[in-house]
Amino acid sequence: SQQGEEDPQALSIQEGENATMNCSYKTSINNLQWYRQNSGRGLVHLILIRSNEREKHSGRLRVTLDTSKKSSSLLITASRAADTASYFCATADNYGQNFVFGPGTRLSVLP
Amino acid sequence: SAVISQKPSRDICQRGTSLTIQCQVDSQVTMMFWYRQQPGQSLTLIATANQGSEATYESGFVIDKFPISRPNLTFSTLTVSNMSPEDSSIYLCSVLDGSSYNEQFFGPGTRLTVL
């Protein structure tokens, strides 16, 4: 299976700082998606980046994808206390299915 | 994006009983999935719910334990059968939104506690 691995497992920063989370995977993918989960609730879809894309932006979020290194990063700029959550990456196989989730990064933003 | 609801949002059940979780989508979708998230863990795919046919289960999950129904393109159920405390998890349904380049959207989850 193409297990996604997130790094770091936990991250604690001050409000206003930037937070960077990384995701690595093992086999070729169609796309990679990032999600946020607050306190064991449902997952909120953040960004999808396709295998032929290198960077995408959405508000304070910036996602990069390096298919040669089989890795992706999620950058949250100017973090807020409300960004405190767990963040997961999920890869889709070449058919855009068979999603595999990484273990997640727990982000704590301190006021 | 698709709007997904799940019932119940949470439940506390006794060992040996069964619970059926419902997933309703506000639009017709081809692909629906069921995931389990054990406490403090990531998500694990249980099965793909196929409309009009048997679900496709991932390794480690069997139909007798997790029977799934998919009577139409907007609804699915997952039953957790003969529950044990190890089944205590969050169960989430998700759909693939083909109009959004296969973005996967999730329901709010069902938090199950088995005593």
Q: In this predicted structure, what is the pLDDT of residue A1? A: 40
**A30 vs A96, higher pLDDT:** A30
pLDDT digits (tens, 9 = 90+) for A6-55: 788 999 999 999 999 999 999 899 999 999 999 868 899 999 999 999 99
| A38 Cβ neighbours under 8 A, 6+ residues apart | A44, A84, A85, A86
As separate numbers, helices (DSSP H) first and strands (DSSP E) second, chain B gives 0, 11
Smallest CA–CA distance from A92 into chain B, residue: B102
Least confident of A103-107, B97-101, B106-110: B97-101
Smallest CA–CA distance from B2 into chain A, residue: A45
Residue of B42, B45, B102 with shortest CB distance to A88:
B42
Residues of A in Cβ contact (< 8 Å) with B7:
none
Chain-chain contact of A88 with B43 (C-beta, under 8 angstroms): yes
CA distance B2 to A90: 18
pLDDT at A3 over 70: no
CA distance A23 to A74: 8
